[in-house]
């Protein structure tokens, strides 16, 4: 699940969980970001119940 974190309270709530967190930095103009987006999607599909991903 990708989630956008919009406030500091949301951020604190997410990182206080026991579940590992992956912060995804992304820009439309960035080719490396697009490649990583595909990789993150694959990882997430395999480890979704163990990993939380949020966009920054």
Order of strands across the sheet that contains 2-4: 2-4, 52-55, 21-24
CATH 3.40.50.1100 corresponds to the domain 2-55: no
For residues 21 and 52, the answer to whether their CB atoms sit within 8 Å is yes
Taking the C-alpha atoms of residue 1 and residue 55, their distance in angstroms, rounded to an integer, is 10
pLDDT tens sequence for the chain (56 residues): 566 777 889 888 878 888 887 777 778 898 988 888 778 878 877 877 776 666 66
Q: Which two three-digit tokens encode residue 50? A: 């163990």
The pTM is what?
0.54
């Amino acid at each position: 699940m990708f989630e956008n974190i919009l406030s500091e309270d949301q951020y604190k709530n997410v990182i206080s969980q026991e579940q590992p967190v992956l912060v995804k930095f992304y820009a439309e103009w960035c080719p490396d970001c697009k490649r990583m987006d595909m990789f993150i999607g694959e990882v997430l599909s395999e480890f979704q119940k163990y990993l939380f991903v949020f966009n920054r």
